[in-house]
Chain A
Amino acid sequence: MIKSSLRFVFLTFLLYISFKPLNSAEMVDPIKVNWSFKGLTGTFDRASLQRGFQVYKEVCASCHSMQYLSYRNLGEPGGPEFSEQEVKAIAASFEIEDGPDSQGEMFTRPGRPSDKFKSPYPNVQAATAANGGAYPPDMSVLVKARKGGANYIYSVLVGYEDPPPGVDLDDGVYYNKFMVGNKIKMPNNLMDGLVEYADGTKSTVDQMAKDVTTFLAWAAEPELEERHKTGVKVIIYLVLLTILVYLSMKKIWSRVDTEV
């Protein structure tokens, strides 16, 4: 009885949390991609992260900020793992405002690895005004901030279509199969061959969408690889300890006439 009710409670709990996410009916389920970072031991594809950073830098970064990331993160383990020189060069390619200096003046200088990613606009209002009244969201935790996560981001990037007959779109509004409500203010920015990958990979829309989504997934969860690795160790340790404690318990309780 106890075993069956334990199972019952646990299964109901699982069922319960699997039901929890909810959303409006108009949304099409995002495309399921077999990401390398999925699963218990998932890791990021290093080359894809580096390509994804390139797409971000050359395409997304003109409107989207990533204010919680620093250039040094690009060289840290578990990420794109650019070399120290590369990170320095990437940082130095941005002009960062600093100050005030001893005269009380603000000044600009080349970026350093410790600087945060430079934002394309000075503030949210400026970003909103420059983009037809729709604020391009900060992308630091975007993958965690959307139901469907990486699958959803990827789907939106490849989900642009001509609107079906009967759907009227205002100026500056685009039709996207996967966007909630199907209307999106971000134009379709990806086209085949848009960026020239340093590693020679063919830059198809699909490839770029996958690469930049991988990059965003890392940006949202830079600890993912360490988390997975530590998790496996912790679970193995706990299971072994549980077995030992179980055997000790059996031994101790063998002095009593009761089963445990």
Chain B
Amino acid sequence: MSEHEYTPKSKAGKWFNDRLPLLTLGAHLTDYPTPKNLNYWWTFGGILTFCLITQIVTGIVLAMHYVAHADLAFASVEHIMRDVNYGWLIRYIHSNGASMFFLAVYIHIFRSLFYGSYKSPREVIWIIGLLIYLLMMAAAFMGYVLPWGQMSFWGATVITNLFSAIPLVGDSITTWLWGAYSVDNPTLNRFFSLHYLIPFLILGLVVLHIWALHVPGNNNPVGIDIKKPSKDTVPFHPYITIKDAFALLVFMIIFAGFVFFTPNVLGHSDNYIPANPLVTPAHIVPEWYLLPFYAILRSVPDKLGGVILMFSAIFILFVLPWLDTSKVRSAVFRPIYRQFFWILVIDVLMLGYVGAMPAEGIYLVLARVGTIYYFLHFIVVMPVVGYLEKTDPIPMSISEPVLTGVAEPSIARKVNDKI
């Protein structure tokens, strides 16, 4: 991993390091050469690690007071809110933390899309990242079920019912998932168990994600391969750590704004009504971060078709490195793709918006158009644009055009303006 061999100074350190090279790992993480031109979109990796740790720590405390039983879950959440010392704070950090986690992960994913970070040689980082994202969605969905409010219950009913669309064995699978003949106490219990398990799976995948990142090193806004270490890189500590800390603090201010001043704005008021299998809410909506997929699901008149399309919307991302035919990584130098990137962003936001609306009239039309465009972007736009597009000239290194302007001063200026 490390470019140069690290030897601990103390005798004890050397003794230990010869047996378990933890100090070498620490030295590698400190020295890790990082491109010096990373912008603030690159700070979300650190922010996401913070989010994961926050969710795990608050979650462990919540689990000490929560009761996973259909008759007691709602009351135990109220017990946390009212009687547990700072229970309200811990729960609001946890519930808003899920939203902040997704906000950060979406920025992180779109950052990768814009700068081509998923491309060779970083495909494995990208795929592990998508697996983390999938697990995050599963964890968030199950976590939302735990308070056992109306949206918990009916959200669980809608999502688990999706599996009944599978031909022949669908109903059996759904019953198996429920552990009963409807969403009931066994469902709540297993969701709690899995909700506790998944974050640790994510943690393991995060380690692999970072490990895979440290093999080729970071991509950067210019998207070119750089020599490491060189004039183009800075050691991770203190340069990147202090920058990540600054970005994290800004993020935490927004986070705290939600937790302390509008803790319920991202949730649904119906979830403060205890679950009632006999009363269906007027509109069953998932949490905001799942809405684009909900819109895709509902845009298809056929249930099985909708389910297939919804899962395809995620799984298509796994083959993205091979759908993108462009040799150039960063969209900074891809004038055509750049336009399509922003159209995709708008498309996904629009899908999220119509996902919150009733599936009828103009919303259904928009959902269909948005869904078709979503898939067109990956299946048609990416391969074709990558093939046809005339990209802008790319600088030789990060420092050179910017510093000396030898190669082509106009490029240097242009690059500086854009980044």
On whether the two chains bind one another, the answer is yes
**Contact residues of A with B, CB < 8 Å?**
1-2, 6, 9, 12-13, 16-17, 19-20, 22-24, 40, 67-69, 73, 137-138, 140-141, 144-147, 149, 180, 220, 222-223, 227-228, 230-232, 234-235, 238-239, 241-242, 245-246, 248-249, 252-253, 256-258, 260
Please report the C-alpha to C-alpha distance between residue A198 and residue B40 in the assembled complex, in whole angstroms.
59
Nearest Cβ on chain B to A184's Cβ, whole angstroms: 16
Complex interface: chain B residues within 8 A of A1 (CB): 417-419
Q: Is the CB of A68 within 8 A of B288?
A: no
- Among residues of B, the one whose C-beta sits closest to the C-beta of A224 is B88
Q: Which residues of A have CB within 8 Å of B357? A: 22
- Of the candidates B78, B79, B252, B399, the one whose C-beta lies within 8 Å of that of A238 is B252
B242, A258: Cβ atoms under 8 Å? no
Bitwise interface map of B from 361 to 401 toward A, beta carbon under 8 Å scored 1, else 0: 00000000000000000000000000000000000000100
What count of chain B residues pass the 8 Å CB interface test?
Answer: 55
Please state if B260 and A234 are interface contacts (CB–CB under 8 Å).
yes
Known: A17-B265, A22-B356, A22-B357. 6 other contacts (CB 8 A): A69-B82, A141-B272, A231-B256, A231-B260, A234-B260, A253-B242
Greatest chain B CB density within 10 A among A1, A69, A238, A239 is at A238
A140 B78 Cβ-Cβ under 8 A: yes
B417 CB → nearest A CB, Å: 7
Q: A9-B107, A22-B283, A258-B37 are in contact. Are A144 and B249 (CB under 8 A)?
A: no
For residue B263, CB closer than 8 A to chain A, the reply is yes
Q: Does B50 contact A (CB under 8 A)?
A: no
Say which residue of B81, B243, B256, B349 sits within 8 Å of A12 (CB atoms).
B349
A-B contact pairs, 8 of them (CB 8 A): A20-B285, A20-B356, A22-B283, A147-B269, A223-B81, A227-B89, A242-B249, A249-B245
**Complexed CA–CA distance, A176 and B264 (Å):** 27
For residue B123, CB closer than 8 A to chain A, the reply is: no
Q: In the complex the two chains form, is B239's CB within 8 Å of A252's CB?
A: yes
In the assembled complex, the CB of A256 is this many whole angstroms from the nearest CB of chain B, namely 6
The CB with the most chain B CB atoms within 10 A, among A40, A180, A245, is that of: A245
Q: When the two chains form their complex, are residues B242 and A245 in contact, meaning their CB atoms are under 8 A apart?
A: yes
Specify which chain B residues have a CB less than 8 angstroms from the CB of A245 in the assembled complex: 242, 245-246, 249
Q: Is the CB of B273 within 8 A of A145?
A: yes
Cβ contacts under 8 Å, A73 to chain B: 82
A17-B265, A68-B78, A141-B78 given as contacts; is B349 within 8 A of A230 (CB)?
no
**Per-residue contact bits, chain B 145-174, to A (CB 8 Å; 1 contact, 0 not):** 000000000000000000000000000000
In the complex where A2-B40, A235-B253, A260-B243 touch, is A145 in contact with B259 (Cβ < 8 A)? no
Contact (Cβ within 8 A) A227 B260? yes
**Cβ-based interface call for B282 (8 A):** yes
Q: Are A231 and B261 in contact (CB under 8 A)?
A: yes
Q: Tell me the minimal C-beta distance from B262 to chain A in angstroms.
A: 9
Q: Separation in Å of the A82 CB from the closest CB of chain B?
A: 17
Q: Which residues on the A side are within 8 Å of B89 (C-beta)?
A: 223, 227, 230
Q: Which of A141, A228, A260 has the most CB of B within 10 A?
A: A141
Contacts of A239 in B (CB 8 A): 253
A138 cross-chain contacts in B, Cβ below 8 A = 274
Whether a CB of chain A sits under 8 angstroms from the CB of B56 is no
Neighbouring B residues of A246 by C-beta, 8 Å: 246
B257 within 8 A of partner (CB):
yes
Q: Would you call B352 an interface residue if the criterion is a C-beta within 8 Å of the partner chain's C-beta atoms?
A: yes
Q: Which residues of B contact A253 (CB under 8 A)?
A: 239, 242-243
Nearest-neighbor residue (CB-CB) of A233 within chain B: B260
Residue of B whose beta carbon sits closest to that of A237: B256
Q: A16-B353, A228-B260 are in contact. Are A223 and B269 (CB under 8 A)?
A: no
Q: Which residue of B lies closest to A231 (CB)?
A: B260
B270, CB-defined interface residue at 8 Å: yes
Contact A234 B256 (CB under 8 A): yes
- B82 A145 Cβ-Cβ under 8 A: no
B1 at the interface (CB under 8 A from A): no
The answer to the question of B39 belonging to the interface, with a C-beta cut-off of 8 Å to chain A, is yes
B228 located at the interface, meaning its Cβ lies under 8 Å from any Cβ of chain A in the complex: no
Say yes or no for B205: interface residue by CB 8 A criterion. Answer: no
Determine if A238 and B256 form an interchain contact, defined as CB atoms under 8 angstroms apart. yes
Q: Is the CB of B356 within 8 A of A256?
A: no
| Structural contact, A2 and B39, CB atoms closer than 8 A | yes
A1, closest chain B residue (CB): B418
Decide: A227 near B246, CB < 8 A? Known: A23-B283, A141-B272: no
Task: Take A17-B265, A17-B266, A260-B243 as given contacts and tell me if A223 and B37 are in contact as well, using a CB distance cutoff of 8 Å.
Answer: no
A252 touches B349 (CB 8 A): no
B40: chain A residues within 8 A (beta carbon): 2, 6
**Given contacts A1-B418, A17-B266, A231 and B249 within 8 Å (CB-CB):** no
Residues of B within 8 A of A144 (CB): 264, 269, 272
A22 to B288, CA, bound (A): 12
Most chain-A CB neighbours within 10 Å: which of B37, B260, B282? B260
**Which residues of A sit under 8 angstroms from B417, Cβ to Cβ?**
1
- B201 CB → nearest A CB, Å: 28
Instruction: Find the A residue at minimum CB distance from B35.
Output: A258
Contacts of A231 in B (CB 8 A): 256-257, 259-261
Nearest-neighbor residue (CB-CB) of A143 within chain B: B272
**Contact between chains at B249 and A238 (CB < 8 Å):** yes
Assess A68 versus B253: contact at CB under 8 Å? Given A227-B88, A228-B261.
Answer: no
Are A227 and B282 neighbours in the complex by a CB distance under 8 Å? no
In the complex, A180 Cα to B89 Cα: how many Å? 32
Q: Does B316 contact A (CB under 8 A)?
A: no
Query: CB-nearest residue of chain B relative to A241?
Result: B249
In the complex, which residues of chain B have a beta carbon less than 8 angstroms from the beta carbon of A260? 243
Beta-carbon contact of A238 and B253 below 8 Å = yes
Task: Name the CB-closest residue of B to A235.
Answer: B256
Q: Is B103 an interface residue (CB 8 A)?
A: yes
- Decide yes or no: A222 and B82 within 8 Å by CB, A6-B40, A228-B261 being known contacts: yes
